[in-house]
Structure 1
Amino acid sequence: MSVTAALTALVACSSFCPLTATAADFLSSGTDFQPPASDDQSQQPSVEFQMTPDQLYGQNQVDNTQDSIDNSNVDVSHQFHLHESSEWPFPQKIDNHIGQISGVSISKDNLVYIFHRGDREWNQTTFFQNNVFREKNKGPISEQVVVVLDPKNGSVIKRWGSHRFYMPHGITVDHENNVWLTDVALHQVFKFDHNSGNVLMTFGTAFEPGTDSNQFCKPTSVAVTTSGEFFVADGYCNSRIIKYSADGQILLQWGRSTLVTGEMLVPPYQLWIPHALTLAEDKELICVADRENSRVLCFNINNGTFKFEINPPLFQRLFSVAYSPVADGLFYVLNDKNMDIVTETIAQGIVINATSLEVIGQFHPKNNEFLRPHDMAVSPDGTSVYVVELIRSHVRKFVIDSDIKNKFINQSNDSFKFSLDDIILNKYNVLENCPGLRENSGKQILVIMLIIAVGLFFTAAIFVTVLIYTRTKSLGVMKTMVTVKDNSISTIVG
């Protein structure tokens, strides 16, 4: 790596800014199958939200809004293409012990984790109107609800999690291979050790939905940073996002239920079932699939400030969003059909360029579409995408076409073969371990140009200094020689 690139890396890695807090209120109902029937607050649990009005409404600011990109007339089917893996043994049920698969996540060593519901199904009778679980008397699910699969052939490596959960929803495997799970019946979030299966942390009160800082109401998803801080999407009722420190202290929270209907523009802090979270740490973003508002919202990872919205016309109900830093950033969005609206849109995966926010690809099963797709995950190297279907209990694996992989993925992973033009044009993720630089390409180019200018200035200054010193020293030597010569002549003459 050149001196200039090294200087760029040193300057780019900067500290995070301090955190502020806002909060959310309002409850709504909902299931995995249909949008909430109403937002009737009279049916919700009477729990007082313990934050001041200033904390509730005063501290989040909209930093930047971008018009959604209209891709309705653009053929994107072959720009960034994925196909189902021929080596993957599914789509089919893994075995008869697998129920509705609600979540999928990939570990750092590329193992595939799924979270399923065994013999339980979520339907319109599963919860009371106040979001309390109706079927507590059935006891916990007897099956092992966490299943670990081999990424090459789909064989089962490990199972665990029996007699603990009532209605599984989200699963996340963090950078230390800890497993985070959400249960919408328990209204709780758990952190598990992946080796022992022991609970490391528990958040929320079992079977008690609520809105205060110590309770959840049907939490859906967790996202964990490399530093250990984590975000919880809470979820079907509270429609808020909460950020925690690594030791479980609340740092900030934002969001509330959507209060507008029809064709009105929905503000960025009004959510309608934040269903899945994903982190783009290289861009300092936390993004959420706002399911019933048919959009992806991205916020600053440090202070919750709104950054931008992704909302092309082909979006319907968004069940999941995943991010990969390869090729300078890609969002994968899982789009299901809105059953109440007749549309040509199919249930499919959509690929979004994280810089331009344009749709660059679509993918779905061969000659078909997904049936109730519920979650998705991307492999660490960015070459594989996994999608789970709720009803059929299928785990599908998609791989990026070889020409796309060679053009984008392989090049972006080669951090030492680049030119100055490549750095300036942002083709390669040269500083993939320094997230502060790449918030946007304009800042990157400016920083690089400034560093180059400073480097050239100091190089020139050093050169001039050395030149002056050398010339001065040479003149001094010559003067000494002349003096000695004169003295010698004087001695001879005298």
Structure 2
Amino acid sequence: MRKSLYILIGIIVLLGALIAWFSRGGSDTVYKEAPVSKQSAAYEPEVLWPKSDEDKKIAGEASGVAVSSKGDIYYLHRGSSEYGGESLIKEPALIVIDGDTKKVKARWGKNIFASPHGLEIDHEDNVWITDIIQNKVYKFTADGRLQATFGDDYPFYMEPALRIRNVLHNFPTGITKYTFARPTDVTVMNDGSFVVSDGYRNRRIVKFGANGQFLWEKNNLGDRPGEFNLPHGISHDQKGNLYVADRNNARIQVFSQDGEFLNEWGQQELGRPFGVEVGDNGNVYVADGGNALYPKGGIGSHQILVVNQSGKIINRFGSWGSKDGELKIPHDIAVNQEGDIFVAELENHRLQMYKEK
């Protein structure tokens, strides 16, 4: 009897030690006091899509926005689905708007995506989209023909193992370098290599060659330099330096094209970065999506920021609301050669343009 008791106590102690070991590390979500909202005299707002009643019926959660070399605006939304939806979206998820006329010129993407998230257009105008349910990165031509798919399929145990790791941060899953766990965004270099922010269940940015071969990754959960807590958006500048919207850490991190940590921007006025884009002028454009998706901390700031290469904020504007110029969870951001800013608003289900005056 006593021997059995000792064995039971030993098992309990061992389980406790294992749970403590697997739970070590981690990173708490950072909350900031929301800065006072501002309106900008430099930009004129306009809703680009949806405009018609028919389009409003199919418009879903705004996910991504990008601009092609011709100036056309590509807008990604989830139609009748939602974040984490598992059924294929029956509406055209990709809306293409003519850069000159601002009229819809194409729609594609029916029955392809389950929960599309990140959107990128490379220098050859190929369209890259991440899907957080299918755990894939897709590469399409400008008119929607699939060229390549990246990301290994899940083995049968992977999904429950990742769910356990959400709680026990160091629980072993056996996930490979080629397997994504809800990839949030992608940025593509001129040589065809690409970097993925693999953020909702992983905690990494990972670079691949043009043919999909693994090159390097930064893969640590935490809030120290080079660590991540939900890398949500990613972009690069002309030198190849990478800018990562480290969402739960409420900061932008900057890395070299080889993954070397260079800098971080976490000032209060920056809020909570969801999306990031580097413009042709070298400025960094940030979509601050606030705290509306978080269980505490209030609504937070919902704004657009323009930041220079040194991390100095040179313009910021926006406030919570649904009127033209107002924002509800700006999820992604893009900018054209003229300096006009395009914002995909998650909760307002729309694409908004801020035209530079």
Task: Give the TM-score category using the shorter length.
Answer: 0.7 to 0.9
Deviation per CA, 1:70-111: give whole Å up to 9, x if none.
xx79x9976x933314xx655757432221111111111111
What corresponds to 2:62 in structure 1? 101
What corresponds to 2:316 in structure 1? 362
Q: Specify which of 313, 331, 342 is matched with residue 386 of structure 1.
A: 342
1:150 aligns with 2:98: yes
How far did residue 214 of structure 1 move?
Answer: 2.0
The structure with more radius of gyration: 1
Q: Specify which of 90, 114, 133 is matched with residue 166 of structure 1.
A: 114
Cα gap change, 1:257/1:166 in structure 2, threshold over 3 Å: closer, same or farther? same
What secondary structure, in the 3-state scheme, does the structure 2 residue paired with 1:142 have?
coil
C-alpha separation in 1, matches of 2:38 and 2:56: 36
Cα gap change, 1:249/1:224 in structure 2, threshold over 3 Å: closer, same or farther? same
Deviation per CA, 1:256-312: give whole Å up to 9, x if none.
222xxxxxxx21122111100011123x311100011110000001x2110011111
Q: Report the structure, 1 or 2, having the larger strand content.
A: 2
Q: Specify which of 327, 332, 335 is matched with residue 288 of structure 2.
A: 335
C-alpha separation in 2, matches of 1:389 and 1:212: 33
C-alpha separation in 2, matches of 1:382 and 1:90: 20
What corresponds to 1:488 in structure 2? none
Residue pairs, 1:167-186, within 5 angstroms: 167-186=115-134
What secondary structure, in the 3-state scheme, does the structure 2 residue paired with 1:270 have?
coil
Deviation per CA, 1:350-405: give whole Å up to 9, x if none.
111113x21111123778631121111111x141110011122110001223xxxx
C-alpha separation in 2, matches of 1:41 and 1:387: 42
**Amino acid corresponding to residue 279 of structure 2 in structure 1:** S
1:312 aligns with 2:289: no
In the alignment, is the contact (CA less than 8 A) between 1:92 and 1:395 conserved in 2? no
Residue pairs, 1:347-426, within 5 angstroms: 347-355=302-310, 357-364=311-318, 369-379=326-336, 381-401=337-357
What corresponds to 1:273 in structure 2? 230
Residue pairs, 1:104-123, within 5 angstroms: 104-122=65-83
Cα gap change, 1:196/1:360 in structure 2, threshold over 3 Å: closer, same or farther? closer
**Amino acid corresponding to residue 183 of structure 1 in structure 2:** D
Cα gap change, 1:277/1:40 in structure 2, threshold over 3 Å: closer, same or farther? farther
Q: Report the structure, 1 or 2, having the larger helix content.
A: 1
Cα gap change, 1:169/1:196 in structure 2, threshold over 3 Å: closer, same or farther? closer
What corresponds to 2:7 in structure 1? none
**Amino acid corresponding to residue 306 of structure 1 in structure 2:** F
In the alignment, is the contact (CA less than 8 A) between 1:234 and 1:242 conserved in 2? yes
In the alignment, is the contact (CA less than 8 A) between 1:103 and 1:169 conserved in 2? yes
What corresponds to 1:231 in structure 2? 195
**Amino acid corresponding to residue 310 of structure 1 in structure 2:** W
C-alpha separation in 2, matches of 1:247 and 1:91: 36
Deviation per CA, 1:315-360: give whole Å up to 9, x if none.
332111111131xx211111122242258x53110111113x2111
How far did residue 40 of structure 1 move?
Answer: 11
What corresponds to 1:218 in structure 2? 182
Deviates more, 1:90-99 or 1:226-235: 90-99
What corresponds to 1:299 in structure 2? 255
In the alignment, is the contact (CA less than 8 A) between 2:38 and 2:317 conserved in 1? no
What secondary structure, in the 3-state scheme, does the structure 1 residue paired with 2:248 have?
helix
User: What is the total number of aligned residue pairs between the two structures?
Assistant: 304
What secondary structure, in the 3-state scheme, does the structure 2 residue paired with 1:281 have?
coil
**Amino acid corresponding to residue 320 of structure 1 in structure 2:** G
CA RMSD of aligned residues (A): 2.8
Structure 1: runs of 5 or more not aligned: 1-38, 44-71, 127-134, 259-265, 402-494
Cα gap change, 1:196/1:255 in structure 2, threshold over 3 Å: closer, same or farther? closer
How far did residue 162 of structure 1 move?
Answer: 1.3
Cα gap change, 1:270/1:92 in structure 2, threshold over 3 Å: closer, same or farther? farther
**Amino acid corresponding to residue 393 of structure 1 in structure 2:** H
What corresponds to 1:242 in structure 2? 206
C-alpha separation in 1, matches of 2:20 and 2:106: 43
Deviation per CA, 1:223-258: give whole Å up to 9, x if none.
001111110010111110111111111111113222
C-alpha separation in 2, matches of 1:206 and 1:226: 30
What corresponds to 2:11 in structure 1? none
C-alpha separation in 2, matches of 1:382 and 1:220: 27
Structure 2: runs of 5 or more not aligned: 1-18, 24-34, 160-172
C-alpha separation in 2, matches of 1:41 and 1:349: 41
What corresponds to 1:257 in structure 2? 221
**Amino acid corresponding to residue 364 of structure 1 in structure 2:** G
What corresponds to 1:455 in structure 2? none
C-alpha separation in 2, matches of 1:165 and 1:295: 29
What corresponds to 1:190 in structure 2? 138
In the alignment, is the contact (CA less than 8 A) between 1:318 and 1:336 conserved in 2? yes
